[in-house]
Structures are given as structure tokens and as C-alpha cells.
Amino acid sequence: MKLRYCLSGHPTLPCNVLKFKSTTIMLDCGLDMTSTLNFLPMPLSVPSWAELKECSGHVFVDSVPEFCLPETELLDLSTVDVILISNYHCMMALPYITEYTGFTGTVYATEPTVQIGRLLMEELVNSIERVPKAQSASMWKNKEVQRLLPAPLKDAVEVSMWRKCYTMPEVNAALSKIQLVGYSQKIELFGAVQVTPLSSGYALGSSNWIIQSHYEKVSYVSGSSLLTTHPQPMDQASLKNSDVLILTGLTQIPTANPDGMVGEFCSNLAMTVRNGGNVLVPCYPSGVIYDLLECLYQYIDSAGLSNVPFYFISPVANSSLEFSQIFAEWLCHNKQTKVYLPEPPFPHAELIQTNKLKHYPSIHGDFSNDFKQPCVVFTGHPSLRFGDVVHFMELWGKSSLNTVIFTEPDFSYLDALAPYQPLAMKCVYCPIDTRLNFIQVSKLLKEVQPLHVVCPEQYTQPPPTQSHRTDLMIDCQPPPMSYRRAEVLTLPYKRRYEKIEIMPELADSLVPLEIKPGISLATVSAVLHTKDNKHVLQLPPKPPQPPASKKRKRVSDDVPECKPLKPLLSGSIPVDQFVQTLEKHGFSDVKVEDTAKGHIVLLQEAETLIQIEEDSTHIICDNDEPLRVKLRDLVLKFLQKF
């Protein structure tokens, strides 16, 4: 029996728990940050006593932004044995789980995932801690109060679960519980289950996971991409023959083709800069930004933008750009070969060398001296609620020459912009999401052919804003099983077999007997020894010696007592031949009757009855033991013994 607990309602930031063969495995640990959109951008707030502020018709909470955590009430998270992380975006809730729930297990992730995940967490903590807020609002969370608030605050769910950001020590503690793994590495969990990460093609070090026992295989596909971008391509072949395929992390913008969006991004960027405006790109410090920089590297000369400075501002900008260059073995083939030339795999090294791309930890310090306009700025956070992006929104928002280009698909750009209204600057929405779209999913499923597909309920119906797009949902046979936040799902697969090892000595003692061509049988008498979820058949202990003295008798060593075994019989009795044999042996008045299950042979003289059925034979005679034994031996002649 396998159970899945869904702890997150966000299909691209999943957090699920799988109970499988006595192990409890948490799959990903995503943090839903869309809750921050209900808060006022951090540097914008002025100290006041009011918890709520109105801004261009929207009401925002004036407080340190809070995040919506995965469900913690559905099951005792201290019982989770391991956490498998599929990519750096899906581990942002890790400190909340490992540091607050009594979790004592291990976390598995690839090295780039951990390193870049650390950068993302560091940037998050840094951006929030940099602007200390005196107050933390909690009054509005009171159900009675919340009910009276305008939308979207009124409709915000699980507000009591929202938590402030973790701290750096918590991040470090959480990351210290991670064990690094490589693609295709097999990790045994308590001997019961084997887990293996596979390349998923979405980001540096991103993985899908295979969780399998000897007879069952569950694939967990989260955040995969079939496009040729910087990471190693997706390993599809290893997903074949799955009993269950859990499918999460598909593209959030299924209608936007990433290539078209990159084109759109470049065109709008060039148009703005040529008109003397500045471009602001709110983004994460890792991921799509590498591809964007690569596109720009090819594009800026042709578009006559060679003299326009590109700034990348993040507390972790430097590490992000450098890390990307050292994870060669996690990159796509093209980039790997560059390393042997030797050349840096990403061309942003050259942009930095030629001073076209400059990076700074923050807008303070060196940046303010170097800053020239018009320019292009990449900075976080894409929610526009904290980080240096807030300063640039304030600085450039009033001029229609400037443009803000949203490339991260995680936040609704209209909601992100709401507190900045009215805004003169142009806004362009070019979400670049390289994760699988529905056409690719349908090809993948055809290729991999899992017995069952399990996915978030969002994927089983068209997007709410485009209800006519029936092409934007998973279409497979049998239909996928769907789940939603705080739901427990029983996976549609029953375990039927278990692997057992036979010790060599025991195996030696077996004498298989061919009962049908190609099928041999042997009886086994052994002791089943189970330890660490491994089952071994051992030689039975020798029959216990008769105790020397009754005193020394004790219930010894858990060894069960062995009775001598009766041989097993197999085969069928051909009635005609049996009757002939009986006649040969002097039974003259043999009569045969057919019954529903077999035959009854009547020996009228002896008043004896032999009932022959498919799986049993009975000899019924009246207290004539010698006759019974004689008849038994005749019956046994027709059967095989082993």
C-alpha cells in the first residue's frame, strides 16, 4: 500500500510525502512565495502603526513579508526518513521542515542544487534582513478581521500558516543535513527502497527521482525540460516501466514558447535602449539568467547595443556567475566540450571580461560610482517586494522611456506591479519557462508508458483563464489521478511480490524436479531471516539433540522446531489406466462415476470408494487399513513425489 500526502497546492513548488515499503520519503520542499504579493514592498513602507495600507486601490499588509509553508498538520513530519530535492527552486522551504518539525532524516540533492539553492536562500535572507521592519502584522490574520478585508487579502488561504523568513543559521543547519548525490547514483534506503536521481534538463543539477523496490517502480518527475539550454539533457529512458509516474513542475505558461519569448525579450530590450530608456529585469540570481545573458551576448553586437552597460546586482551575483562555470559535468554536451578547449562554458565570462556585464552585491558602494544610463539591470526579487529591484522601480517607474521586463513566471506581473501604480514605465511580460509543456508531456508519456500517472489537479483541466484550451491539460490513458493541497491519495498499485535470497548451502540442497517442460519445482525447508528489510532463507538448524538434562532446556535462540516433512505430490490420475491397474490387482467389479469435480471409483465388493478430484484423492473404506494402504500405493504410482 502506498500513500501520498500532498503538502503544497502549488504545482511547480511541490512538497509531497510518499509512504512506500516502510519508508517515508518527502519529495521536494517548495516554498510558495506568492503570499508576499499581499505585502507592501519593503523599502516603500514608512513606520506607522497601521497594519494595512491602501495603495492605488489595493490593500497591502505593511509588514515583513511572509511565506506560505507546506502543510505541517497532515502527518508528523518528524517521521519523514528522507527528503529528495529535484531542483534549487524546490528546496526553499527546507529550513522550515528540518529545523522546526523534529526532522532527523537525511536530505538528498545534487551538488549544483545545493550550491545554487544556498545562493537563492542567502539572497532571500539578505534582502529581507537588510531592511529591518519594526513590526510584524498579525491582527489582520484574525479570521473575523480577515473576513472584512478587501480581496485578495480576504481570500488568502492558510494565513495562520504564513511564516517570516528563516535566518542564515537556520539555512546553514538545514543545508548541513544534505547528502550530495550524482546522477544515476543508487542510494539504498534501509534496504527497502532504492532511490536514484536522473538528469531532468531543467536547471543545473536538476533531477527527477526513481524510487524503486525489486518489484515496484515509482518515478517522480519534477521540473523537467526537453529544450536545449545549458543543463544536461533530460534522461527519459530510465523512466520507462514505471508503475506510477508522479508528474509535477510543468511549465507555468503553457501558451508561451520560450524561443518566442526570448525574441520578445531581446526586441523590447533593444527598443527601449535605443530610445534612451533603461531596462529592468527582475529575476532570480541563477537559472534563466544564464540563457538570457547568452542570448544577449549574441544579440547585442548585431543590435548595436555594444556600448550599453549590463548590470547584475545581487548579494550572490558573483558566486552565481562563477559557480555556473565550474559545474562542467552538469552541463549540456556543447558546454562540456568547451571546458576541454579550454574555454569557459558560458559566454558571460567574456561579457564580464570586456566590461559589458558588471556585477555588484548591492546598489550601494561601487555600483553607485559606475552607474551609467541608459542601461540594463538584472536584479531580484521577481516578486518586487524586496531586494534591490524595489529601488529601481522607484527610480525608473516615473518615466515612460524605461521598461520593466518580467521573465520569471512565478509571479503574476500585474499583482507584482500593483503597489507601484500609477506607473509610467512600460511593462513587458515575457515569461520564460523551459519546463515541459503539454505537447511534450504527451510525447513523454507515450514514450515512457507508465501504468498510472499522478499529477496536481491543475493539470487535469484547462487553465481557468483559458477554459477553451482543452489542449492545455494532460491527456493520457488511463486518465491521471489528481491531488490537491492537504489531500491523501492512495496510489493505485498493490505490492504483490517480495524478493528473498537463498543462502548457497541451502540452494545446494535443493533438487528441482521438472513437472512440466521448463518448470521445475523443489520443496524448501528453511528459516526465513529478515533484517533491514532484506529477507534471507537459511538452512534450517539441525534437529535439536535430545536434551542431556531437563535442567538445561530453555527456549533457545528463536529457532523454530522442525518437523520431518511429508513429500509433496503432483500429477493427475488417468482414470482408465487406474481402473486397469485395479483390475490387474484383483479388483474385478470396478465402477466409475463422473462427478462435477472428477470421478468416483467404486469397488463394490470391498465396499470401498475412491474419490478422485483435481486437487485431492480420498479413499473411503470401512476399517480395512491394509486395503487402504494397498489402494494408496496404487494411487501413488500415478503421482510424482518430491
Partner 1 sequence: MSDPGPALSAQKSWFIARARHRFAMTRECALLLPRVCAALADPRQPGSDDTCLEKLLDWFRTLTEFDPAVKLVQDNPCLTEFITSVLALPEPSPSILSFTLRLAGILAASESRFQHLQQEKLLVRLFGGDGPLSSAVWEDASVRSGWVEGVHSMMHHQPALHFLCNGGGIDVIFALQGDPSLFVASAASRLLVHMLILSVETETTKPLSAKDCDWPACAQMIIKRVEDSLQSSSASHVEQSLKLLTSLFGSCRSTWTEVLWLGIAKQIESFLTEKTVQVQHMLANLLLSMAWSPVFCDSEGSFWALVTSALEHLTPVQAGPLAVGILRLYKCPQDVRIQALTVLLQPMDCILRAASQPLEYAGLLDESVSDPATVEGLLSSKSSCAGLLCQTLAHLEELLSLIHLPVDLPYASLLRSLMTILQFCNGFLSPASPLGSTISRILINCFRVQRSALDVLAALSERKGCDTLIGSLFDVLLAYLESPNTSPTVLKKTFQATSKWLVRLHELSCSNSQWQQTEKILEDVFLVLQKRLCSPCWEVRDSSLEFLTVLIKSLRDQDEFRQSLLSSEVPRLTENLLEDPESYVRASAVTAVGHLAFITYFAPESPVIGNQYDKENTVAKLQEILSTDPEGFPRRAVITIFTKWLRQGCTGQLEDTEQFVSRVIQTVEHDLDWEVRLGGLELVEVFCSQTICQLGPPKCSYAPVSSAVTSSIHQNKSLQVFCRAKLFSFLFRSLCDCDKPVGQRACDILLALRGSFYPISTLKDSQETGDSPAGSGIAWLQRTLRQGSLAQNFPTDGGNGVDFEDPESMMLALGTIDLEELHDELNKCSDHVEKSPQSLLQDILATVGTIEENEADCY
Nearer CB in complex with partner 1: 218/266: 266
- Shortest distance in whole angstroms from residue 264 CB to partner 1: 4
- The answer to whether 383 and 36 have CB atoms below 8 angstroms apart is yes
- Shortest distance in whole angstroms from residue 408 CB to partner 1: 16
- Shortest distance in whole angstroms from residue 252 CB to partner 1: 16
- Shortest distance in whole angstroms from residue 518 CB to partner 1: 44
- Shortest distance in whole angstroms from residue 475 CB to partner 1: 9
- The answer to whether 75 and 52 have CB atoms below 8 angstroms apart is no
- The answer to whether 63 and 50 have CB atoms below 8 angstroms apart is no
- Shortest distance in whole angstroms from residue 463 CB to partner 1: 11
Nearer CB in complex with partner 1: 361/463: 463
37: phi > 0 → left, psi -120 to 50 → alpha, else beta; which?
A: alpha
Nearer CB in complex with partner 1: 473/526: 473
CA distance 408 to 330: 22
Nearer CB in complex with partner 1: 350/394: 350
- Shortest distance in whole angstroms from residue 476 CB to partner 1: 15
Nearer CB in complex with partner 1: 18/308: 308
β-sheet bridge partners, residue 406: 429
Q: Which residues contact 297 (CB under 8 A, 6 or more apart)?
A: 347, 348, 350, 351
Alpha helix (H) ranges present in 162-287?
168-175, 258-274
- The answer to whether 198 and 210 have CB atoms below 8 angstroms apart is yes
Summarize as ranges the residues that interact with partner 1 (CB under 8 A).
255-257, 260-264, 266-268, 270-271, 274-275, 295, 298-299, 301-304, 430, 466-471
At 453 the three-state DSSP class reads strand
Longest CA–CA span in the chain (Å) reads 121
The CA radius of gyration of the chain, in Å to the nearest whole number, is 35
C-alpha cell at 357: 556585464
C-alpha cell at 177: 543535513
CA nearest to 246, candidates 79, 410, 27: 27
CA distance 138 to 439: 44
- Shortest distance in whole angstroms from residue 269 CB to partner 1: 8
Q: Which residues contact 348 (CB under 8 A, 6 or more apart)?
A: 290, 293, 294, 297, 321, 324, 357
Nearer CB in complex with partner 1: 263/397: 263
- Shortest distance in whole angstroms from residue 265 CB to partner 1: 9
- Shortest distance in whole angstroms from residue 439 CB to partner 1: 8
Phi, psi of 109 (to 5 degrees): -160, 160
CA distance 20 to 262: 42
Nearer CB in complex with partner 1: 70/431: 431
Nearer CB in complex with partner 1: 103/297: 297
State how far the alpha carbon of 475 is from the alpha carbons of 223, 440, 467, 471, 481, in Å.
Answer: 19, 11, 15, 8, 11
Nearer CB in complex with partner 1: 140/265: 265
CA nearest to 323, candidates 96, 61, 110, 550: 110
Nearer CB in complex with partner 1: 301/498: 301
User: CB neighbours (10 Å) of residue 429?
Assistant: 17
> What burial letters (b/e) apply to 354-370, b meaning 16+ CB within 10 Å?
eebbbbbbbbeeebeee
- Shortest distance in whole angstroms from residue 426 CB to partner 1: 11
CA distance 80 to 97: 10
Nearer CB in complex with partner 1: 446/499: 446
At 617 the three-state DSSP class reads strand
- Shortest distance in whole angstroms from residue 434 CB to partner 1: 15
- Shortest distance in whole angstroms from residue 282 CB to partner 1: 19
Alpha helix (H) ranges present in 206-332?
258-274, 288-302, 317-326
Nearer CB in complex with partner 1: 376/506: 376
Nearer CB in complex with partner 1: 348/381: 348
- Shortest distance in whole angstroms from residue 306 CB to partner 1: 11
User: CB neighbours (10 Å) of residue 595?
Assistant: 10
- The answer to whether 26 and 97 have CB atoms below 8 angstroms apart is yes
CA distance 407 to 414: 13
Nearer CB in complex with partner 1: 204/270: 270
- Shortest distance in whole angstroms from residue 481 CB to partner 1: 23
CA nearest to 142, candidates 127, 124, 123, 156: 156
Q: Which residues contact 508 (CB under 8 A, 6 or more apart)?
A: none
* In the block, residue with C-alpha cell 478430484: 613
Nearer CB in complex with partner 1: 438/483: 438
